[in-house]
Structure 1
Amino acid sequence: MAAPESEHPTLSQPTELSGGDYDPANPPDRLRVLVALGPSTYFFANGRPHGVEFAMLSELEKYLNRTRPKGRAPLRIQYVPVDAGALLPKLRDGEGDLAAGLIPVIAGAGHLAEFTVPYLNERWCLVQNRSKPPLTKVEDLGERAVTIPAASYGRRVMAGELASVKVVEPPLGTSTEQLFAQIQRGGDTATVASDYVLGLWSQRYPALKSQSCAAASVPVAWAVAPEHPQLLSVLNRFIASTGGKLASKAAGDTRRFLPKDARADAPDEMSSTDKLGFFAPMLQLVAAANNLDWLLLAAIGQRETKLQPMTRKGGGPTGLMQVNPNTARKMGVSNPHDTEQNVTAAARYLTYLRRLFSDRGITPTDQLYFMIASYNAGEGRVQQLRKKAKAQGLDPNVWRGNVEEVARRTVGQHLLDYVSSVNRYYLAYQAADRSADKREASKPAR
């Protein structure tokens, strides 16, 4: 992104809790939710987020917007995917307003967070292939080990029952759901899982059977930082309003999207297409705050960095969107090296450019071309090109075949290639988005 040649207005930042509490009379513009990245809770399919926690939180977002004061932009949830084991520590450190990840409320957790009323009351059980001899109690495993991922809540929920048997950890990064796949194929693998998660995957893995469950059920809830008691009250009212069907509806909404390999890749393992999915919630949030199409932000990010944040602290363009720090400051953004602030600066600059090229004689298509060209070369340079086009008898309000030709002769082919490349990505993303919508609409109602 080129530095702007003129002073830009400073736009207001989206409001968030930022250490305060949720005020229903003046609610924030967004909530930061730490969500467990996993093949049941929060994952990406076809570039879009899914998962039971995503489904439940989407319902929460709708609920909060139904009572939002008139004239306010809709509240958006900002999803912050993290490992399940990091949910409560990161919540305690102020990195989110609430944490979601099928969290059981067990002894010792209360010093880290407050918990909502439960949206589930769950049993944890041993899980093995139904062809194996039945287990009436854990000790019936004999010399067989129970394989439990280090981050699994089942290890703590069933600590008493597991004390008399051998417990082993699978390779780092293996999920309970991947163990399900191993059990489906046969062998001696046994693990521990909740009835809810097992039920979610039961159609995919029909050979699984739960046996020898913990004596007592355990409440499952969302966690909230202690300094947000009003937010806790709002969440409790929402959960109560769902009539006990929140989790079951989420399972129904999620089941058909479950990843085929039971994986939810970490960001550094994703392809460029998957990275679009990973960044989609943030891009959508920032775009909505600036009345932009998030797919345009995605297209520019793909062209600038292939959606791989490139941090440079020497003064040059930086971050996912390659924002010039000087431009970021003029857009009211103090830290362009932070990914979200970087995207915010880019979105605000594009909003400014859209206003700049909003003359009555400029079509929406040409407005977009001028915005993209200015993002790369600076709006002052593009305005100069328009003046030269007019002086040469060309139409200054039309990019193709007019201002474009002046740019080719005076700036060079690289600017034309940039505009063409971003436009190509943008059209491809739009086509993919339309295809996904058509596929969704064509599915029979359940």
Structure 2
Amino acid sequence: MQLFQKQKSMTVILFSMWFVLINLLSGCQPDSDDHGIRSVSPEQKQQEKERDRIEAELLSKLDVEKYQGDLPVLLDKKVIRALVTYSPTDFFLHDGHILGLQADALREFEKQLNQGVRKAKDKVRIKFVPVPFNRLIPALNEGVGDIAAGMLTVTTERQALADFVAGHLDSVDEVVVRFKNAPAISSLSDLQGKEVHLMRGSSYVEHLKQYNQKQADLGHTVITGIETDSRLLSEDILELVNAGIFQYTIVDGYKARLWSTYLDQIVIEQNVVLATGNQIGWAIRKNSPELHKALQHFFETKAKKGTLFGNMLNKRYLEPNRWLKNPLQSNDRDKLNKILPLFQKYGDQYNIMPLALAAQAYQESKFNQALRSHRGALGIMQLLPSTAKDKNIGIKKIDTLEPNIHAGAKYLAFLRDRYFSDPAISEQDRLFFSWAAYNAGPAKVSKMRNLAEEMGLDRNRWFGNVEHAAARLIGNETVDYVSHIFKYYTAYTLANYLVSDKNDVLKTIPSDTNNTLSVCETAFCDTLQPKDNGATTTPN
């Protein structure tokens, strides 16, 4: 498999950017050497090492006990459990470090709680408890955690379930973001008849349903809002817009501005706002006045705008070779039209969806059969000759197109059937794990699954679970590998509905409705249309 190429000079520049950004946003200048890289004292290094050791312990040894209580109960236990969601903005792992907006804010809250407490045994600790985004409030009320520390927009529906401390950001607008080559818009009405892709279960979904209902009541055309696959966060959707795969989305303005620095193909329509004046903050259980008071004091005194929440971005998104490409550009589309029958032939033979196999090939080589990696991997599927010669594969002449695709499909099926046949693993995740093993090897994937279990995550699910153990264990290459293939598959599945050219092979490919990844999971079946009775529907 082709490995990401590292450019040493670019890495130095990126780390310089990172450190300078952090210090500028926290109101101080970095101590730097002649190259602009902040110097770190031995004492600071030791403190950071100890901090990360504690964080790793808190993250990996999650309590199974469920309990509830206000701040006095939590202080007595010396632990406050913070429910967090992995995302490249809010909470993520990099080289064993816990980073992100929520992680930094929670550290500051921990410091404030421990002011004046001298003995380590008497200090309260924040324990990070990772959960999926749609589990933040349910897990809070089940007693799994004490603070739902996500960038949660305060809505009427959520206020019925939990109390909020909305100190992160005030007056947040939900703005339209488009691909730079998509038609510009000056009002929401310009989106009528267009498709807008939204994160599933988000406040954007709720607000667009309300908008569409009002438009329908007036007899106007509504906006076709489409909830994306549940595995895609708003950052993923912005990346898909940046690649031109999606044309429009709606996100919080602060997040759009944060990422527009690095996603140079998106345009923020600042004056086209779906909802305005939103508050964003943390949720706590109802009837927790002491915890509410402590958090409110924290936000009023420590978490001022422009300090904590102008944080650094996940380094993997700053590296130039991490960006998603658009597999539907004319040149790549022409290549796919020529070779898709081979993906269909061997996909059918090994029970792999043709478009999923094509998406993997695009990630590996951009359909370049002449490609040779520095490790000796060959062709479209980037297989090592030794792998193709193995008795379990036994395909010759992989330096030519059809045997290369055949060998890649057979090897992927071998990984799936040999290592991921446990009935507890869904058919979807068997494919995801097979992709991961194709990239990193089955032995490493086994270690990832074991680590995920130690971290309190589901060892049988890749997205939102084992992928985070993978990032902690070996870095982001395999995480990006699987994520990009899935997004390319998403693009191909979407294109399968859009093609009108009778000569376009994509039009002849079945929609994978009977295969591992259903169209409803990946091709956005949930459109946001108004109810006939005038009622609105809240997100999950």
Using structure 2 for the length normalisation, give the TM-score: 0.44
User: What is the letter of the counterpart of residue 83 of structure 2?
Assistant: L
> Which string of whole-angstrom CA distances, capped at 9 and with x for unpartnered residues, describes residues 160-202 of structure 1?
3355211123334122212212222235521110011112212
The question of whether the paired residues in 1 share the 8 Å contact of 2:154 and 2:166 is answered with no
* Aligned pair partner of 1:174 in 220, 232, 239: 232
> Is the CA contact (8 Å cut-off) linking 2:92 and 2:314 kept in structure 1?
no
What residue number does 2:153 align with?
104
| Deviation (angstroms), 1:153 | 2.6
Q: How far apart, in 2, do the equivalents of 1:78 and 1:271 lie?
A: 29
Matched, 1:54 2:103: yes
Query: Equivalents in 1 of 2:69, 2:210: separation in Å?
Result: 39
Secondary structure of the equivalent of 2:135?
helix
Match of 1:76 among 125, 140, 158: 125
- Residues in 2 aligned to 1:310 and 1:70: alpha-carbon distance in whole angstroms: 32
Q: 1:184 to 1:19 in 2, by over 3 A?
A: closer
Aligned pair in 2 of structure 1 residues 26, 75: CA closer, same or farther (>3 Å)? closer
- 1:144 Cα deviation after fit: 1.6
Asked if the contact 1:45–1:259 (Cα under 8 Å) also holds between the matched residues in 2, the reply is: no
2:151 aligned partner, one-letter code = L
Alignment CA distance shift 1:256-1:96 (3 Å): closer
- Following TM superposition, where does structure 1 have runs of at least 4 consecutive aligned residues deviating by more than 6 angstroms? 268-272
Q: How does 1:44-443 map to 2 (within 5 A)?
A: 44-68=93-117, 70=119, 72-121=121-170, 122-163=172-213, 164-186=222-244, 189-211=247-269, 212-242=272-302, 244-245=304-305, 248-255=306-313, 257=315, 259=317, 306=447, 308-309=449-450, 320=454
1:20 aligns with 2:69: yes
Structure 2: any 5+ residue segments left out of the alignment?
Answer: 1-62, 214-221, 325-428, 438-442, 458-471, 476-540
- Change in Cα spacing, 1:184 to 1:41, as seen in structure 2 (3 Å) is same
Note closer, same or farther for the CA distance 1:67–1:199 as it changes in structure 2 (3 Å cut).
Answer: farther
> Which stretches in structure 1 are left out of the alignment for 5+ residues?
1-13, 273-301, 312-318, 321-337, 341-428, 433-446
Matches of 2:100 and 2:83, distance apart in 1: 14
State the alpha-carbon separation in 1 of the partners of residues 314 and 169 from structure 2.
21
Deviation track 1:280-303 (CA, whole Å, cap 9, x = no partner) reads: xxxxxxxxxxxxxxxxxxxxxx99
> 1:228 offset after TM fit, Å?
2.4
Question: Structure 2 CA distance, aligned partners of 1:309 and 1:255?
Answer: 28
Counterpart CA distance in 2 for 1:85 and 1:25 is: 24
Q: Distance between the aligned counterparts of 1:64 and 1:194, measured in 2?
A: 30
Percent of aligned positions that are identical: 22
CA distance in 2, matches of 1:141, 1:168: 13
Residues of 2 paired with 1:310 and 1:194: CA distance?
34
Q: Is 1:55–1:254's contact at 8 Å kept on the other side of the alignment?
A: no
The Cα shift of 1:253 comes to 3.0
1:81: how far off? 1.0
In the alignment, what sits opposite 2:84? 35
Q: Could you say if the C-alpha distance between residues 174 and 19 of structure 1 is closer, same or farther in structure 2, counting changes exceeding 3 Å?
A: closer
Question: Residues of 2 paired with 1:140 and 1:339: CA distance?
Answer: 46
Does the 8 Å contact 2:165/2:292 carry over to 1?
yes
- CA deviations 1:85-112 (Å, max 9, x no partner) are 1111111111100101100111121221
Aligned in 2, Cα 1:199/1:251: closer, same or farther, shift over 3 Å? Answer: farther
The one-letter code of the counterpart of 1:148 is: L
Report deviation, 1:154: 1.6
How far, CA to CA, are the matches of 2:161 and 2:258 in structure 1?
29
Query: Secondary structure of 2:307's partner?
Result: helix
SS at match of 2:98: strand
Is residue 50–residue 257 contact of structure 1 (8 Å, CA) maintained in 2? no
In structure 2, do the counterparts of structure 1 residues 96 and 215 end up closer, same or farther at CA, with 3 Å as the change threshold?
Answer: closer
Contact 2:174 2:252 in 1 (8 A): yes
Give the aligned length: 270
Output one character per residue of 1:246-267: Cα deviation in whole Å (capped at 9) or x when no partner.
Answer: xx3334432253646589xx9x
Aligned-residue CA RMSD (Å): 3.7
Amino acid at match of 1:186: G
Change (3 A) 1:119 1:67: farther
Q: For the structure 1 residues 69 and 229, does the alpha-carbon distance in structure 2 shift closer, same or farther, using more than 3 Å as the test?
A: farther
Alignment partners' CA distance in 2, 1:92 and 1:231: 15
TM-score by length of 1: 0.53
Deviation, 1:127, is: 0.9
Closer, same or farther: CA 254–231 of 1 in aligned 2, 3 Å: same
Distance in 2 (CA, whole Å) between partners of 1:161 and 1:210 is: 20
1:56-115 deviation line (CA, Å, top 9, x unaligned): 112112222224365644322111111111111111111100101100111121221111
User: 1:78 and 1:133, CA in 2 relative to 1: closer, same or farther beyond 3 A?
Assistant: same
Amino acid at match of 1:152: S
CA deviation digits over 1:367-407, x for unaligned, max 9? xxxxxxxxxxxxxxxxxxxxxxxxxxxxxxxxxxxxxxxxx
Whether the 8 Å contact between 1:27 and 1:68 is mirrored in structure 2 is no
| Conserved? CA contact 1:144–1:188, under 8 Å | no
Aligned CA distance change for structure 1 residues 339 and 206 (closer, same or farther; 3 Å): closer
- Structure 2 contact 182–247 (Cα < 8 Å) conserved: no
Amino acid at match of 1:173: R
**Does the 8 Å CA contact 1:119/1:221 hold for their aligned counterparts?**
yes
